[in-house]
Amino acid sequence: MESKNKYSIWIKIVSVAIPVVVAILFGVRVDYELPIFLPPIYSSLNAITAVLLVLALIAIKSKKIKLHQRLMQTCIALSLAFLLMYIAYHMTSNSTIFGDINRDGIRDLQENIEIGNSLYIYLFILLSHILLSIALIPLVLISYVRAFQEEFAAHKKISKITFPIWLYVAVTGVVVYLMISPYYIY
């Protein structure tokens, strides 16, 4: 029981700390030009994560436990890499404005007319992606700890919630990138 409480406390701390630190770092501006353009790279990490999540589900349904375990650990590593690149990009680059067709840093009335309702679709996908990615942190950690502690019934129960949310977050990360990519200033 002591082990459970120890993990529970750490899961709570990490689940709060990550979004708080990310929010704080968004306010930090580093005057440094990255040698590469990160959005297509971290978007690709999301795409790979989505594929690996599906493969991990297939693996566990096929009773390939070690493969499932390795795939899930890879998904966690890819998600962490995504987060680090995402933070690095936003600390070193100006935010891109969806619909800023002429890339002048302002979405004016004419641009609003041209993009139409796609802005609302973009904002819905983006906001749901962000909110669910925050909710995903404790879900992934709890799922992982339950598997690590060989509490497989509890792991399976929480994973039925974690999997679709993680898949949604991974896929919408790609969709958000594809929707905003025409407005990036390279």
pLDDT in tens, 97-122: 999 999 999 999 999 999 999 999 99
Q: Report the Cα–Cα distance between both ends of the chain, in Å, rounded.
A: 53
pTM for this structure? 0.93
**CB burial readout 25-49, b (16+ within 10 A) else e:** eeeeeeeeeeeeebbeebbebbebb
pLDDT at 1 over 60: no
In this prediction, residue 4 has a pLDDT band, given cuts at 50, 70 and 90, of low
* Percent of all residues in the chain with a pLDDT value above 70, rounded to a whole number: 97
Contact between residue 138 and residue 12 where contact means Cβ atoms under 8 Å apart: yes
pLDDT at 61 over 90: yes
